[in-house]
Structure formats: structure tokens, C-alpha cells
Amino acid sequence: MSDQQQNQLWGGRFSESTDAFVQEFTASVAFDRRMYRQDIQGSMAHATMLAEAGVLTDDERDAIHQGLKEIRAEIEAGDFQWSVALEDVHMNIEARLTDKIGITGKKLHTGRSRNDQVATDIRLWLRDEIDLIDGELTRLMTGLLDQAEREAATIMPGFTHLQTAQPVTFGHHLLAWFEMLKRDRERLLDCRKRVNRLPLGAAALAGTTYPIQRERTRELLGFDAVCENSLDAVSDRDFAIEFCALAALCVTHLSRISEELVLWTSAQFNFIDLPDRFCTGSSIMPQKKNPDVPELVRGKTGRVNGHLISLLTLMKSQPLAYNKDNQEDKEPLFDAVDTLAGCLRAFADMIPAIEPNREVMREAARRGFATATDLADYLVRAGVAFRDAHEIVGKAVAYGVEKKKDLSEMSLSELRQFSDQIDDDVFEVLTLEGSVSARNHVGGTAPDQVRAAVARGREVVNA
């Protein structure tokens, strides 16, 4: 390709060819060509609208549509020749279209600019990716609900400060993870509403003198609304920042879950087993089974957080309207999407395969005086002021530490030395099952409440 051909789409103003290094430095085709489907989709809708507006003939529209379909087939077959000299996905496709159908291909760009074209492509692409991510997120949420329902009565220790606090059920703990992801999905779907607005028609920054019909283009492309201001339409990247913000929060939640999975698979906890397919071994220690999937997800959180900061910093000083800086929006956004989607897929596969070690969990809950609060509540119901009950139970725990006895292992006479308000019915509240069952309210850890929460969760996921 000659220099004249390379610059044919925009080079009329220039008296010399672009420096070879500058071509490489400023080109984005290496990464933005992944939006080829959306670029072709947007161009076909634009051509349809131009024909309906009388700017193109029906024959010209049909030639453009056919040419774009053939180009899409070439790309998907691996036969398309991408050129760095043509800078980006848009100019590569337009140049190939002109090669195929002649001067009609040059008419496609009537009434638009690369500024509103790229803004449209990114929104179309991100909308598609959000829908795919939502599929993986709901699959993970469903896996959590299934596990929570199976383990609604499985007792484990609940922690604060990573110290045994009170007994809970494993199902209840899994539903805490579900609640995190439920909020993430709410943010994802809310973000999609702002992504789904059409910039096309803003042209370079001020609109166009051609009789375009933006509402028709909006309808053809399935957008909910058009961007109302042409300056904002071409320069806005809030939607990309918003996505990266929700992605950062979602992977932060996955990282918290990962930390617990890593702890729970350790020999020190041994609460769960992960199937071998989600783990790897050591090159020198044959006994090792490393929880690589949750560890790697935990590690990937940093890169998504970094992409959010990159986009915020990218936009913080930009004057209106479009600036070349915005070429830097794609790589952080693309990688944030890929990373979040990959993490969700890995978790959606892994979570249903978790195998809880129920007896180990129950024994861990039995240690650490997990029912101490239940004893305090028992005393309050017997008429003891809570602060006095707190002190009484604290002394009983100190005695248990000294004697190496849990509260439930003490005799009635041992317990009564701390308060004569304690009777033999106390053992009903000192059992693990009694403790979790007593918290029988919305949001509580009682097995019946866990099952009810699962049912509500299924309604949310299937809505």
C-alpha cells in the first residue's frame, strides 16, 4: 500500500506522510479491532438511516450492507488484512469497503465522524459484554443458592476479627457472599442503562448539516435513548469509568471470598475441599494442593482497581470535546471486562463443586465458647441486666479456659457458681443447634431462615 493510499481517508490536509514510528505509536488497531462486529453493526444501521433520509439511494445502501457482511466474514475467517497505517478498526473496515464496492464505500461516512463512531462502537461493545457478564454472574449466584440450600443446617463458626464469635450455618455464610454479588448485579444492570445511549449523530462535536434521523438509528441499534448534547456525546467516558468502578467492587468481593476459600482449604482450617481441577501442586513438595483459582482471583483485583484509576486519571483534565487521549480508554476497559468475566466464570464453575467438611466445621464451632452470647441472652431473659450478664458469662468463660471446658461441657453446678439464675434448661441454648435455631428472623442464621432467603434469592436471580 502506498503512502497516498494509507492516508486516503484523512490525509488531504497533509503535505507529507506520517512518520513510521508515529504511525505505530498512534495506531489503535492492534486492540480496537475486537470491536469489528459493533463497528459493522453501527455502520449498517447508519447506512439504513441515510437511505431512509434520502442521503443514500437504496442501491447504495444495499451495496454497503453486502460489502460489510462480506468484510465481517473475512475477519471471522482470518482473511482480513489489518493495516497499522489505517490506524484503527473503523478506517480499516471503511478502506476495505471502498476497495470492494468503489466510491459508494466513501459515502458511508456521510453525516458522522470517527468521534461519534468510536463512542458508539464502545457502547455497543460494552453493552454486549455486560450481557455476557450478567450471565456468568447469575450462574455464580445460582451456584451459591444451590450450595446454601444444601447446607442450610450445616453448623460452622462465625468470626469477627478472625476469632470464633458465634455459631452460624454454612448456608448462611454462603448467602452473605450472595448478597455482595446481588448488589454487584444491581450496579451492573444500572450501569447498562447509561451505557445504552446513542452518540451517533453528534459527528465530530457539533452535529451535522445532513437530515439525519437519530431516533431511527437509535431504534435500529436497540439503544434506549440518544445522547442529548453533541459535545458530551463524543467526549463522555463516564460509562466506561462506571463499569470499571463496579468491576473493581465486584472483584473486591470475589477477593474477599477467595481469602476465605484459601483459609478454609488450609490444613489449619480444613473446612472445605476444592476439587483437583481447580488446584495445582508444587514442583518440589509432593503433598501440596494449592488453591490457585481463588489465589489468582485475589491477585487480579489489583489490576482491575488500577484500570479504574487509569480511566479516572485519563479524564480528569480533558477539555471538551474529543481528544486523542481518549484512545487510551480502550485497553483498561477491555482488560477490566476480560478480567471480571474470567473471574466470574472460574467462580461459577468452582463454587458448586465445593465440598464442605461438615464435622470439622461443627467441631470448630464447638470450640472457642461460641455460645457465650446465648448464655448472656439466657440470663437477660431470667431478669439479669445485660451488663451484669456479660460479666457473669465472662467469668464462666475464664473458668472454661482454665479447665479446658466449653460452656456446653460444664455441669449445672459448675455454671450455677456464676449465677443462681441458671437452671437445667440452659443446655437447650448452649447447644450449637439451639444457638443457630434461636436466631429465627429475617436475616438470621436459623436453617428455616436460610431456606427462606434462598427462595427470595431465586426470585431475584430469575427476575
Catalytic residues: 161, 282
Q: Which three cell numbers stand for residue 404?
A: 479446658
Does the bond joining 321 to the residue before it have cis omega, within 30 degrees of 0?
yes
- Give the H/E segment covering residue 232: helix 230-235
| SS3 label, residue 271 | coil
Q: Which residue has the cell 463512531?
A: 117
CA 337 to chain centre: 8
- Give the H/E segment covering residue 166: strand 163-169
Q: Which residue has the cell 473471574?
A: 343
- Contact present, 33 and 82 (Cβ < 8 Å): yes
Distance CA 269, CA 97 (A): 62
Q: Which residue has the cell 437452671?
A: 423
Contacts with 107 (C-beta within 8 Å, 6 or more apart), sequence order: 50, 56, 60, 64
Contacts with 371 (C-beta within 8 Å, 6 or more apart), sequence order: 166, 167, 407, 408, 429, 430, 431, 432, 435
Q: How much of the chain is in helix, strand and coil states, percent to nearest 5?
A: 70, 5, 25
Contacts with 96 (C-beta within 8 Å, 6 or more apart), sequence order: 71, 74, 80
| SS3 label, residue 159 | strand
CA-based nearest residue to 311, from 364, 246, 253, 380: 246
Q: What is the dihedral of CA 348, 349, 355, 356, to 10 degrees?
A: -10
CA-based nearest residue to 125, from 186, 199, 37, 239: 37
Residue 198, φ and ψ in degrees, nearest 5: -90, 120
CB count in 10 Å sphere of residue 104: 20
- Contact present, 408 and 431 (Cβ < 8 Å): yes
Q: Which three cell numbers stand for residue 273?
A: 475441599
> Which residues, listed in sequence order, are joined to residue 355 by a DSSP beta bridge?
273
**Sign of the CA dihedral running 445, 448, 449, 454:** positive
CB count in 10 Å sphere of residue 179: 15
β-strand pairing of 155-160 with 163-169 = antiparallel
